[in-house]
Amino acid sequence: MPYNSHDLIVTIVKKGWADKVVKASKQAGAEGATVIYGRGTGIHEQKKLLGLSIEPEKEMVLTIILKEETEKVLKAIEKGCSLDKPATGISFVIELKKVVGIVHLLEQLGVDE
């Protein structure tokens, strides 16, 4: 298997929704994910309290997935997190040129390094 056989699905959702993303992606075949915390500054995040801008906290879920599983997992995330509705989040795919550190997956697939 070539090193460039994986994609990265990046999903950014509001705080507390990362578990939904991980659950949906695992049910669709992903093995796991990494969650990173941050804050949003998009058009839907311009809320104010007493005249002060509030920057909501966000969760970013990074999921490395085999290319042939990407569409299925992306659709599961979209459905599981209602990403077809405004202000719920965003998910996109980045093609990975090389991946290392997933030795267990490469061994399962019989790939020599």
CATH of the domain at 52: 3.30.70.120
Domain presence at residue 47 = yes
What does the alpha-carbon distance between residue 105 and residue 102 come to, in Å, rounded to a whole number? 6
1 has a pLDDT exceeding 50: no
Domain presence at residue 17 = yes
Domain presence at residue 20 = yes
Domain presence at residue 113 = no
Domain presence at residue 93 = yes
Domain presence at residue 96 = yes
Domain presence at residue 58 = yes
Model confidence at 105, pLDDT cuts 50, 70, 90, reads low
CA dist list (Å): 105 to 33, 45, 53, 58, 113: 14, 38, 45, 29, 12
Q: Is the dihedral of CA 19, 42, 10, 89 positive or negative?
A: positive
CA 23 to chain centre: 11
Number of domains in the chain: 1
21 has a pLDDT exceeding 50: yes
Domain that holds residue 81: 6-108
| pTM for the structure as a whole | 0.80
**Residue 31: burial class (beta carbons within 10 Å; 0-12, 13-18, 19+):** middle
